[in-house]
Amino acid sequence: MNQERQLRAKHVPLRTCIVCREKNNKRTLTRIVRTEQGVQVDPSGKLNGRGAYLCDQPGCWERALSTDVLSRALRSPLSAADRDRLYQAKPQPG
């Protein structure tokens, strides 16, 4: 029984980017969360609230922030302050 536990691979949670729909390890994606204080980046991945995941491709961030993809995923409209906050958190290419 003990050997069986040692041979079993550790579970790796997968999440899907809301723009490109690619599945990846939860730790490699960026979680965006809707909280009482507004929409923000969740580096810990543990904040309470409705979350959505984005990969680090600049095109995915641009599309998420310029269309309603992110607001639909979070089931809440994005304010101008939310968009500004997310634009500042956007990963830089290179």
**What whole-number percentage of the chain has pLDDT above 70?**
93
pLDDT at 90: 85
Fold entry, domain 10-89 = Hypothetical Cytosolic Protein; Chain: A; (3.30.1230)
pLDDT at 83: 93
pLDDT at 91: 83
Q: How far apart are CA 39 and CA 33, in angstroms?
A: 6
Would you say residue 4 has pLDDT above 90? no
Would you say residue 1 has pLDDT above 60? no
Q: Hey, where are the domains in the chain?
A: 10-89
pLDDT band at 85; cut points 50, 70, 90: very high
CB atoms within 10 A of CB 32: 26
